[in-house]
Amino acid sequence: MSRYQDLSASELARELQQLRDHYCVFQQRGLTLNMARGKPSPEQLDLSMPLLDFPAHAAGSSSDTCAILSRELRAGQPDDLRNYGELLGITEAQELMGAIMEVPAKNVVVSGNSSLALMFDLVSAAMSHGVLGSTPWQRLDSRPKFLCPVPGYDRHFAICAYFDIEMISVPLNSDGPDMDKVESLVGSNALVKGIWCVPKFSNPSGVVYTDAIVDRLAALRPAAQDFRMYWDNSYAVHDFASPIRLANIRNRCEHHHNPDLWYQFASTSKITFASGGIAALSSSQNNLQDIAKRLGLRSIGPDKLNQKRHSLFLPDIEAVYAHMAKHAALVRPKFAVVLRELDNSLGGLDIGTWTRPDGGYFISFTGLLGTAGRTVELAAAAGVTLTPAGVTYPYGQDPQDANIRIAPTYPTLPALEEASKIFTLCVRIAALEQLLRQDRTKEAETGQRRTKEDKTGHAG
Ligand SMILES: Cc1ncc(COP(=O)(O)O)c(C=O)c1O
């Protein structure tokens, strides 16, 4: 296919007319397809149904279910799992989540069902009470600031917006955040209090931070002593094939004499059940002591029964990998469908680029400047819901209006095939409209210059 930029205005117009005819056919079919939601599909959720067999699962084939359960639940013991207590989570769950985050269990707190909630709580506590004795951020003379690698995760940005934390975009390159910018901002401004990092299979680009980038992050010399990296390792074990290793943030920070610089988050939302799983936070002992004090105020203990269920279902990291291989078998073909359609329908047109992640939940598509909003609008009118344009940037504003997040996991394969076709069609229409608009603007400018030249009698 020829590059659209090489076509004349009349060729562009002809192509646009043909695609619009094709688009009308889709529109008339009244489809309702959705590529917006980064959710596991029902088939993925089915993989974890044995979790619900607990207590039968715990008892195995034994007939003495009650006795085995009593033992598993430590009935009558001081740490009876059916009772209050164990604020930091049960040991087996700390070990499980520690193995996923590659940190010792003693550095892990397992709490609640959502890692996002843990992030929110940490930011909230820093606003009201500071970090390890620092000035509460809400009492600072100026607004605190967070660095936001872009494109990034809209819910991180929403937390900042909620607390009126100023967001500073930094480019997320194929190896991780632009570290020259990060180092300069973090090192020079004590109002810069944090950076959001999704270091493995970032949302939405699927980028995995290289060792060199992780090392530079761990070696930061922040102007603010209460600066922290919010290391959201949501996709730590969500590889499509053999696991890609991410440098260990705890070890690297310790190596660079920055032991308290990191908070790491993970959950089983996309391993077992989304919002029916377990969530965890890991950090240095210093940070955890501070966090534990608060945990004891907001709750008398976590849901240890769900933690127990999870540790019986996933007794070690090998079990996690085996389980994630089943997820990969379901998810990989869906990414392949979208990528094939992008390659076939847009390859060579030079109107967009897209990522080819080795894991995670998203593909990041970048179209021509000024076309993302229009593409999403066209897709919606043809029955395909996409993530709204702009959300992958702070304040919901993509300065280039070019990035769109594609979420292939939830729809069925046939629905995804159809939705991808409509998506590429909309990308092409939006690009052609944009190129024709540019053409008309250029023509108008040339016309104006000529008129001016005619009037003044010479070319300037
Ligand atoms: C980067 C990232 N962090 C956190 C979450 C939410 O995690 P949880 O379900 O543990 O709150 C998501 C969900 O899409 C995500 O993509």
Can you tell me which atom of ligand 1 is nearest the CA of 275? 9
Q: For residue 55, is the peptide bond before it cis, meaning its omega torsion is within 30 degrees of 0?
A: yes
Please tell me the predicted confidence (pLDDT) of residue 436: 97
**C-beta of 233 in contact with ligand 1 (< 6 A):** no
Answer for the pair 284, 260: CB distance below 8 angstroms, yes or no: yes
Strand order through the sheet with 352-354: 352-354, 363-367, 403-406
Pocket test for ligand 1, best of 116, 271, 306 (most atoms within 8 A of CB): 116
Can you tell me which atom of ligand 1 is nearest the CA of 269? 9
Q: How far is the CA of 108 from the centre of ligand 1 (A)?
A: 18
Distance (Å, whole) CA 420 – CA 31: 13
**What are the domain boundaries of the chain?**
4-30+322-446, 64-316
Three state DSSP letters for the chain:
CCCHHHCCHHHHHHHHHHHHHHHHHHHHCCCCEECCCCCCCHHHHHCCHHHHHCCHHHHCCCCCHHHHHHHHCCCCCCCCCCCCCCCCCCHHHHHHHHHHHCCCHHHEEECCCCHHHHHHHHHHHHHHHCCCCCCCHHHCCCCCEEEEEECCCHHHHHHHHHCCCEEEEEEEECCEECHHHHHHHHHHCCCEEEEEECCCCCCCCCCCCCHHHHHHHHCCCCCCCCCEEEEECCCCCCECCCCCCCCCHHHHHHHCCCCCCEEEEEECCCCCCCCCCCEEEEECHHHHHHHHHHHHHHCCCCCHHHHHHHHHHCCCHHHHHHHHHHHHHHHHHHHHHHHHHHHHHHCCCCCEEECCCCECCCEEEEECCCCHHHHHHHHHHCCEECCCCCCCCHHHCCCCCCEEEECCCCCCHHHHHHHHHHHHHHHHHHHHHHHHHHHHHHHHHHHHHHHHHHHHCCCC
Pocket test for ligand 1, best of 269, 270, 275 (most atoms within 8 A of CB): 269
Please tell me the predicted confidence (pLDDT) of residue 458: 47
Answer for the pair 324, 239: CB distance below 8 angstroms, yes or no: yes
Same fold, 4-30+322-446 and 64-316: no
**Domain 64-316 class in CATH:** alpha beta
Can you tell me which atom of ligand 1 is nearest the CA of 361? 16
Nearest in space to 305 (alpha carbons), one of 59, 106, 74: 74
Q: How far is the CA of 297 from the centre of ligand 1 (A)?
A: 25
Superfamily the domain 4-30+322-446 falls into: Aspartate Aminotransferase, domain 1 (3.90.1150.10)
Q: State the Cα torsion 204-206-211-217 to the nearest 10°.
A: 0
Tokens of 415: 């629905």
Q: How far is the CA of 275 from the centre of ligand 1 (A)?
A: 10
Please tell me the predicted confidence (pLDDT) of residue 69: 79
Residues 6+ apart with CB under 8 A from 90: 79, 81, 110, 304, 307, 308, 311
10-residue stretch averages of pLDDT, the chain, 460 residues long? 91 97 93 91 97 72 73 88 95 98 98 98 98 98 98 98 98 98 98 98 97 98 98 98 96 98 98 98 97 94 96 96 98 98 97 98 98 98 96 97 97 96 98 94 78 62
Q: How far is the CA of 234 from the centre of ligand 1 (A)?
A: 6
Nearest in space to 231 (alpha carbons), one of 94, 359, 101, 95: 101
**C-beta of 88 in contact with ligand 1 (< 6 A):** no
Distance (Å, whole) CA 266 – CA 233: 5
CA–CA distance from 56 to each of 65, 69, 210, 395 (Å)? 7, 9, 43, 48
What are residue 363's DSSP bridge partners? 406
Q: How far is the CA of 115 from the centre of ligand 1 (A)?
A: 7
- CA 369, 370, 372, 375 torsion-angle sign: negative
Q: For residue 204, is the peptide bond before it cis, meaning its omega torsion is within 30 degrees of 0?
A: yes
Tokens of 455: 């009037």
Please tell me the predicted confidence (pLDDT) of residue 297: 95
Q: How far apart are the first and last CA of the chain?
A: 40
